[in-house]
Amino acid sequence: MAVSHVSKAADWKQSVVYQIYPRSFCDSNGDGIGDLPGITSKLDYLQALGVDVVWLSPVYRSPNDDNGYDISDYRAIMDEFGSMADFDTMLEGMHARGIRLMMDLVVNHTSDEHPWFQQARQSRDNPYHDYYIWRDMPTDGSLPNNWEAAFSGSVWEPNPATGEYYLHMFSKKQPDLNWENPKVRQEVYALMRFWLDKGVDGFRMDVINMISKPAGLPDAPVIRGGHLQPSFGMVTNGPRLLEFLREMKAQALDGYDTITVGEAPLATIQQGVDITNAQTGALNMLFQFEHMDLDAIPGDGRGKWALRPLALTDLKASMSRWQNALWQTGWNSLYLSNHDQPRPVSRWGDDGVHRVASAKMLATFLHGLQGTPYVYQGEELGMTNARFACIEDYRDIETLNMYREAVQDRHEAPAEVLARIYVKSRDNARTPMQWDATTHGGFTTGTPWMQTNPNHAEVNAAQARDDADSVWHYYRRLIALRKQLPVLVEGRYALLQPEDPNVYAYTRALGGEVLLVVCNFTPHEQAFVLPAHVAFETQELLIANYAVNAADSVRACTLRPFEARMHVLR
Ligand code: NOJ
């Protein structure tokens, strides 16, 4: 294969990002919790995989109500994770290997233990009071509006000292910052510059499209009578969102060579274009959620827990809309996995007999698209969902609150609630990284903060690196391909056969080259016929998850269970 250098696109467009969830990555001191020296000890592993950037979930000081997404000091390292010296060593180690570091910037809210909030809650005339969002507490006990928080219950929590409620879109220990206050924005930009001056290379911005709240915080539309209502729709496209992001770019990012991605629940395509447009936007890319919401019943008040099977035609329609709309107007991030989502192989593949084939197929599908691919720790091993026998084995606040509400308040059968948890809990992705077949998967010599998935005996990094046919080596080869083929970075996407419910096939075209990606999303054989309009003279198979006979036709073939092929046609 001809190797050429991709030179036109910006660096981050050619990059592959690896997400580390530090609590579950590698524990160096036997306390059962992953830490920064643990990450440093695995940098050679990341380099061997070939990733260019690490996104590190929060490592700042935190009381850990939401595993670090509740920050009490933005300029200190969480005690369990190590020291600032450990951080500097880790960053140096990354840079020495050509790996850039994106920090997690969590500034829609702080911890209630942050000194700003500790001050703010004392009195209405405290200088920090206006750093947060308050409403008077009526004597009749009524709530300021009908919004439900992400982790159950109302978004409003009483603060007796001031006779007010404060707003928290997530847990009551995560009060929302008031971005209308210019002092808050200056604090955020200053802490961003603090980390950029230390040498970090950018930010993943937590729920960044929620920072601008609508005037008056009006009630959300009622979709469940007699309940609180889903509230994200009210805050994910606030009137000053773009203004705030552009100000942030001008005051905190310009002048540094950064890579940025904004987490954006319910993002619309228009928001995607507005925010990621290179001329008029503010961030390099967004994490949009449309494809993550396809297996939840639309408009159901139970949100992500209202399960329905994924229809492949829906996935095609959604991905294709984003691929087409952001073509030359913005840039996509590509992900199937992170610390908030179940494992893709359990969700959209098969975590039983076809685990390896389906993990590779999903990787082929994702990495062939236009955008910057993200690999979440363990995805490169084909790690699967956990199925713990009892609720006591779970740790995630969202999961535990949902279980309590369902079982205690609504008297639902525990087994049924656990069944939903097996499919959708965030803890599915948070079990410790499986490094080897030893006790606790080599994650810790102590007792892990959450149990290791029992399948670590078969599914682990040591095994995967020894097996040339493993999911790990497949990811390594896919990542390397991106560096060699401009069409993977820049080629224009076109969907083939939108109505086919089993096979997802698409092309990417650049100059005289066409990349063809064909993925069987089912455990059954499927016939594939290439539409006649895709013309070519020669073809080369770039990567596939089964042995493909050289004489096998690109024009028509039978795909084996979860088979995936990527060809270049010329
Ligand atoms: C999104 C993060 O990814 C998630 O883990 C967290 O709970 C919420 N934002 C709140 O910060």
The answer to whether the CB of 66 is under 6 A from ligand 1 is yes
Tell me which residue has tokens 């996995």: 337
The answer to whether the CB of 207 is under 6 A from ligand 1 is yes
Check whether 109 has a pLDDT greater than 60: yes
CB 77 within 8 A of CB 60: yes
Check whether 6 has a pLDDT greater than 70: no
What is the reported pLDDT for 539? 95
Q: Which atom of ligand 1 is nearest to the CA of 109?
A: 11
Q: Which atom of ligand 1 is nearest to the CA of 263?
A: 1
Q: Which band of pLDDT confidence, cut at 50, 70 and 90, is reported for residue 340?
A: very high
Check whether 103 has a pLDDT greater than 90: yes
Mean pLDDT score across all residues of the chain = 96
Give the residue whose CA is nearest to atom 11 of ligand 1. 69
Mutate-to-test residue for ligand 1 from 19, 103, 106, highest number of ligand atoms within 8 A of CB: 106
The answer to whether the CB of 206 is under 6 A from ligand 1 is yes
The answer to whether the CB of 170 is under 6 A from ligand 1 is yes
CA 69 to ligand 1 center in whole angstroms: 6
Q: Which band of pLDDT confidence, cut at 50, 70 and 90, is reported for residue 138?
A: confident
Mutate-to-test residue for ligand 1 from 171, 206, 263, 427, highest number of ligand atoms within 8 A of CB: 206
263 catalytic residue (yes or no): yes
Biggest CA pair distance of the chain? 79
Report the alpha-carbon distance of residue 83 to residue 90 in Å, rounded.
Answer: 11
Check whether 3 has a pLDDT greater than 70: no
Report the alpha-carbon distance of residue 367 to residue 47 in Å, rounded.
Answer: 18
What is the reported pLDDT for 141? 84
Check whether 411 has a pLDDT greater than 90: yes
Q: Which atom of ligand 1 is nearest to the CA of 398?
A: 7
What distances in angstroms separate CA 337 from CA 22, 287, 342, 404, one per listed residue?
A: 16, 11, 7, 26
Query: Residue 543 class from Cβ within 10 Å (0-12 exposed, 13-18 middle, 19+ buried)?
Result: buried
Amino acid at 327: W
CA 420 to ligand 1 center in whole angstroms: 20
Which one of the listed residues 176, 206, 274, 350 is annotated catalytic?
206
What is the full DSSP assignment across 245-283? HHHHIIIIITTS--EEEEE-TT--HHHHHHHH-TTT-SS
pTM of the full structure: 0.97
What is the reported pLDDT for 185? 98
The 3-state DSSP class for residue 45 equals helix
What is the reported pLDDT for 496? 98
The answer to whether the CB of 429 is under 6 A from ligand 1 is no
CB 374 within 8 A of CB 21: no
For 370, list phi and psi in degrees, rounded to 5: -85, 130
Label the pairing between strands 539-544 and 492-496. unpaired
Give the residue whose CA is nearest to atom 8 of ligand 1. 69
Q: Which band of pLDDT confidence, cut at 50, 70 and 90, is reported for residue 310?
A: very high
pLDDT tens-digit map of 555-567: 999 999 999 999 9
CA 434 to ligand 1 center in whole angstroms: 23
Amino acid at 77: I
The answer to whether the CB of 69 is under 6 A from ligand 1 is yes
What is the reported pLDDT for 408? 95
The answer to whether the CB of 65 is under 6 A from ligand 1 is no
CB 371 within 8 A of CB 261: no
Query: Residue 1 class from Cβ within 10 Å (0-12 exposed, 13-18 middle, 19+ buried)?
Result: exposed
What is the reported pLDDT for 8? 36
Count of residues in the chain: 570
The answer to whether the CB of 91 is under 6 A from ligand 1 is no
Report the alpha-carbon distance of residue 191 to residue 183 in Å, rounded.
Answer: 12
State the first-to-last Cα distance of the chain, in angstroms, to the nearest integer: 12
- For 164-197, give the secondary structure using H, E and C: EEEECCCCCCCCEECCCCHHHHHHHHHHHHHHHH
Which one of the listed residues 263, 290, 490, 563 is annotated catalytic?
263
The 3-state DSSP class for residue 566 equals strand
Q: Helix H segments across 277-370?
A: 312-325, 344-347, 355-367
Check whether 9 has a pLDDT greater than 70: no
If one counts every other C-beta atom within 10 angstroms of the C-beta of residue 119, the result is 14
What is the reported pLDDT for 224? 87
CA 110 to ligand 1 center in whole angstroms: 12
User: What is the mean pLDDT of the segment spanning 19-36?
Assistant: 98
Mutate-to-test residue for ligand 1 from 69, 167, 399, highest number of ligand atoms within 8 A of CB: 69
pLDDT tens-digit map of 275-293: 999 999 999 999 999 999 9
Mutate-to-test residue for ligand 1 from 66, 172, 209, 292, highest number of ligand atoms within 8 A of CB: 66
CA 178 to ligand 1 center in whole angstroms: 18
Check whether 497 has a pLDDT greater than 70: yes
Interior angle at CA 25, CA 24 and CA 30, nearest 5: 80
Q: Which band of pLDDT confidence, cut at 50, 70 and 90, is reported for residue 139?
A: confident
What is the reported pLDDT for 242? 98
Lowest-pLDDT range, 100-114, 299-313, 412-426, 526-540? 299-313
Interior angle at CA 3, CA 10 and CA 42, nearest 5: 65
Query: CB under 8 Å to 374, separation ≥6 — which residues?
Result: 16, 17, 18, 19, 55, 333, 334, 335, 337, 338
What is the reported pLDDT for 225? 87
Strand order in 372-376's β-sheet?
Answer: 285-287, 259-263, 202-205, 100-105, 53-56, 17-20, 372-376, 333-334
Label the pairing between strands 100-105 and 202-205. parallel
Q: Which atom of ligand 1 is nearest to the CA of 57?
A: 3
Percentage of residues in the chain with pLDDT exceeding 90? 95
Strand ranges (DSSP E) for 199-254? 202-205, 229-230
What is the reported pLDDT for 302? 86
pLDDT tens-digit map of 459-480: 999 999 999 999 999 999 999 9
Report the alpha-carbon distance of residue 397 to residue 532 in Å, rounded.
Answer: 52
User: What is the mean pLDDT of the segment spanning 521-540?
Assistant: 96
Handedness of CA 548, 554, 555, 559 (dihedral sign): positive
Q: Which band of pLDDT confidence, cut at 50, 70 and 90, is reported for residue 10?
A: low
Higher-confidence residue of 341 and 549: namely 341
Q: Which atom of ligand 1 is nearest to the CA of 69?
A: 11
The answer to whether the CB of 21 is under 6 A from ligand 1 is no
CA 193 to ligand 1 center in whole angstroms: 22
CA 395 to ligand 1 center in whole angstroms: 14
125 catalytic residue (yes or no): no
Report the alpha-carbon distance of residue 405 to residue 42 in Å, rounded.
Answer: 40
Give the residue whose CA is nearest to atom 6 of ligand 1. 69
Lowest-pLDDT range, 8-12, 178-182, 243-247, 407-411? 8-12
Q: Which atom of ligand 1 is nearest to the CA of 338?
A: 3
CA 405 to ligand 1 center in whole angstroms: 20
User: In this structure, what token pair is assigned to residue 246?
Assistant: 């552009």
Burial 214-226 (b: 16+ CB within 10 A, else e): eeebeebeeeeee
